[in-house]
Amino acid sequence: MNARFQPAAAGATVASPTTTPPTGAAADLLARPAPGQLFSCRLPTEWGDFDLHGLIDEQTGQEHAAMSLGRIDDGAPVLTRMHSECLTGDTLYSLKCDCGAQLQAGLRAIAEAGRGVLLYLRQEGRGIGLVNKIRAYALQQAGADTVEANRLLGLPDDARDYAVAADMLRRLGVHQVRLLTNNPAKVDALGRLGIEVVERVPLHTPTNPHNEGYLQTKSRRMGHYGPDDLG
C-alpha cells in the first residue's frame, strides 16, 4: 500500500536526506563536461528506443549529438546518416528544403535496419549560421538561388567541417559506414578523415513546389545526386 504524503506542520523542521557522494560513472555525470567527453542516455522516439549521445567539440566548443540503435561497435559497417542542423526544416517545418523530411527518413531507415547511427551536427545553414541563413533566404526570395545567395553575402557555398563527425564515429566504435546521403562531398570528407565509406545509400524524399528549385540547384551546381539516383 502506498503511503500518502503528509505536509509538514507550520513551523516544523524538515530533515534533509543524507546524500552519499556519487562515485564512478555517476560522479562523471555531476562533473562539468569536458570537451571531447561523450555522454549518453536512452531516448524513446516514434521510430524506436535510441541511445542519445552528446559531446562538446574540442576545437569549436559547439555541442553535437548522435542517435544510435543496436550494436554499432562490432566492426561491421554501420548504416549512418550525417545530418546538419536545420532549425527551419527540422523544427519549424519549413517546406523550403528537404532537411526535416531527410531527418525523419534517416531515423526511419535506421529503425528498419535495426542498427545504425544518425549524427546531428550543429552546422546550421551548411555552416553559415542561422542569421546568415535568413539573410540568404531573403536574397532567394528576391530571385537568387541558394549558391548565388551565399556568394552575394561573401559566404562559401558550403562551410561545413566533418571532423567532429569522424571523431564521434570513432568514439562510438564505428570505422566503416554505409552512408545515407545524396551528397558525394560527405563521402569524400569521411574518407579523408579516416572513416571508410563502404557504400553510399541514397536518401531521397518527396519534393514540393517550395523546394523543387532548391533541390535542382543542389544537383546542378553542388554535385548532389538527383531523385533518379539509385546509388
CB 64 within 8 A of CB 119: yes
| Candidate list 160, 167, 178, 200, residue with the active-site label | 160
What phi and psi, each to the nearest 5 degrees, are found at residue 46? -70, -15
Find all residues with CB under 8 Å of 203, minimum gap 6, and list them: 81, 102, 105, 106, 109, 180, 181, 182
| Candidate list 57, 90, 98, 158, residue with the active-site label | 158
Active-site residue 158, yes or no?
A: yes
Active-site residue 192, yes or no?
A: no
Task: State the cell numbers at 40.
Answer: 549518453
* Distance (Å, whole) CA 70 – CA 151: 42
Active-site amino acid positions: 158, 160
